[in-house]
Amino acid sequence: MGIRTTLPTTELGLYSLVLSGALAYAGRGLLEASQDGAHRKAFRESVRPGWEYIGRKMDVADFEWVMWFTSFRNIIVFALSGHVLFAKLCTMVAPQLRSWMYAVYGALAVLGTMGPWYLLLLFGHCVSLYVASLLGQPWLCLGLGLVSLASFKLDPLISWQSGFVTGTFDLQEVLFHGGSGFTVLRCTSFALESCAHPDRRYSLADLLKYNFYLPFFFFGPIMTFDRFHAQMSQVEPVRQEGELWRIRAQAGLSVVTIIAVDIFFHFFYILTIPSDLKFANRLPDSALAGLAYSNLVYDWVKAAVLFGVVNTVARLDHLDPPQPPKCITALYVFAETHFDRGINDWLCKYVYDHIGGEHSEVIPELGATVATFAITTLWLGPCDIVYLWSFLNCFGLNFELWVQKLAEWGPLAQIEASMSEQMSRRVRALFGAMNFWAIIMYNLVSLNSLEFTELVARRLLLTGFPQTTLAVLFVTYCGVQLVKERERTMALEEDQKQDKEKRE
């Protein structure tokens, strides 16, 4: 109930005013804290001189972001620009060979970056999963894929295989894990699709063309083999009207976002402050809540920028790649929570949906989530903090189903049926607000630290109870209602669009 129901304009306006005021107040507290802590001894390593014309120090705690857009910026631009120019030339001269040309360029880029032995190592993993696909046993393909993935995540095999990389450079470990992990997932997808469609007779060449497509190779996102092969096999792909303009807009948005994040880090040290728990503990409750929330928002922005840049190049190649993850601000259910839509699609297709079916029964859902998060744990690299993160999110996903089943129970269902649709929406939004903070706390464990998560939980739930707890919950409730209103509007627009297509 209440899903397609709107609320009074005055009420929605009040929610917007409360949310805006709360964000501004929390932002002011974070800004003042960043100014006060800029010269602390504990901040010296991660707060350094930034842009000269801004005249402020910059938060450089995230080494990946700094590497991507400083020392490795030119290399990334050169590699992707070369791919775009090479792809355009191939499309003009021999469009029927474009998939081969992409693979050759990608393999040469990997060869130049990581060395010939690393390339041969990945080729060996590709061949092993290709051979497994010929046997036509999905369980064998998935099992071998997981063993291959484990070999890149667990010692001593990971130490042995990392020795295949030629040379030493700053991003070596990131590129090694990214290229190796995504290679295994792509090869496993190929093997499982081969088992599902034995009549199509995919070849080793199809696997190599799929795996060594450069824009997706190191950082993803991952497209399942069936989608990639179908789109790449089009001999003369045709762009939809206005698509080129949308690609330019996406590229421009990515550039603007990169600049905006860099400017933001000159004023808000959201990544450095959590590392100094003594200083973080002095923050007002509102600023501390804003700090926890902004850490997750930044991780989403980081993923959106990375996938936005890669997806722009892929769309120029006439592919339809997975979209960036859903913004954390719009999430209030665990079922939609993910930071990599490609891996989420891969897990859902081959594990979660396969075991869980319609996701409406408690026992199959429990089995599906346990299996999914077990593989996710292996993907992230088994360690204590990942185990905890997986357990919490697995519990959150199942708890949602348990609450849903409880709400469908006779007495509770009758109580909701007696409510108006607007009141039902308000009650559901209240539970959504509590769920929103469960999502933040459960993911803050891995994105920041367990100690910082404990500090936030203690301040918001124990020492700040009831004033801070209720205030944060009400502000979050306002945000959830605004998200629900946007979802309602989008659903109505989609219904109108479908009705129009039916009439035509």
CB atoms within 10 A of CB 461: 14
Is there a cis peptide before residue 321, judged by omega within 30 degrees of 0?
Answer: no
Residue 340 Ramachandran class (φ > 0 left, ψ -120 to 50 alpha, else beta): beta
The CA distances from residue 289 to 25, 63, 296, 327, 464, in Å, are 11, 24, 11, 18, 11
Q: Report the alpha-carbon distance of residue 65 to residue 294 in Å, rounded.
A: 16
Cβ atoms of 271 and 62 within 8 Å: the answer is: yes
Give the residue from 54, 101, 122 showing the smallest Cα distance to 213: 101
Q: What is the pLDDT of residue 6?
A: 85
Q: Quick one: which H or E segment has residue 464?
A: none
Long-range interactions of 453-460: CB distance < 8 A, separation 24+: 453/292, 455/277, 455/280, 455/281, 455/288, 456/288, 456/289, 456/291, 456/292, 459/281, 459/285, 459/288, 460/285, 460/288, 460/289
Backbone angles phi, psi at 47, to 5 degrees: -120, 105
Q: Report the alpha-carbon distance of residue 218 to residue 110 in Å, rounded.
A: 9
Q: Report the alpha-carbon distance of residue 342 to residue 182 in Å, rounded.
A: 10
Alpha-carbon torsion, ordered 202, 204, 206, 211, to 10 deg: 130
Q: Report the alpha-carbon distance of residue 316 to residue 322 in Å, rounded.
A: 14
CB atoms within 10 A of CB 140: 15
Q: Collapsing DSSP states into helix, strand and coil, what is residue 212?
A: coil
Is there a cis peptide before residue 116, judged by omega within 30 degrees of 0?
Answer: no
**57, β-bridge pairs:** 49
Give the residue from 171, 220, 227 showing the smallest Cα distance to 379: 220
Q: Report the alpha-carbon distance of residue 38 to residue 48 in Å, rounded.
A: 9
Cβ atoms of 451 and 394 within 8 Å: the answer is: no
Q: What is the pLDDT of residue 260?
A: 92
The number of C-alpha atoms within 13 Å of 434 and in the hemisphere containing its C-beta is 11
The CA distances from residue 346 to 54, 184, 190, 450, in Å, are 43, 12, 11, 28
Q: Give Cα 488 to chain centroid, integer Å.
A: 24
Supply 208's token pair.
């190599």
Each domain of the chain, given as residue ranges in start order, spans: 9-53+260-290+318-502, 71-233
Is there a cis peptide before residue 8, judged by omega within 30 degrees of 0?
Answer: no
Q: Report the alpha-carbon distance of residue 276 to residue 291 in Å, rounded.
A: 13
**47, β-bridge pairs:** 59
Alpha-carbon torsion, ordered 240, 241, 245, 251, to 10 deg: -10
The CA distances from residue 381 to 118, 149, 451, in Å, are 20, 10, 20
Give the residue from 241, 213, 246 showing the smallest Cα distance to 227: 213
Q: Which residue has the tokens 């500090």?
A: 455
Supply 441's token pair.
């706390």
* All residues at 6 or more sequence positions from 297 whose CB lies less than 8 Å from its CB, including other chains: 327, 328, 329
Q: What is the pLDDT of residue 493?
A: 81
Supply 498's token pair.
């479908």
Cβ atoms of 16 and 482 within 8 Å: the answer is: yes
Supply 24's token pair.
């501004």
Q: Report the alpha-carbon distance of residue 123 to residue 106 in Å, rounded.
A: 13
Q: What is the pLDDT of residue 456?
A: 95
Q: Report the alpha-carbon distance of residue 459 to residue 213 in Å, rounded.
A: 48
Q: What is the pLDDT of residue 167?
A: 66
pLDDT along the chain (504 residues), means of 10: 76 95 95 88 84 82 80 76 82 79 90 88 94 92 94 86 74 82 94 90 92 89 91 79 87 90 91 92 93 92 88 89 81 80 90 86 91 93 92 92 85 83 90 92 90 94 91 95 88 78 69
Q: Report the alpha-carbon distance of residue 496 to residue 87 in Å, rounded.
A: 39
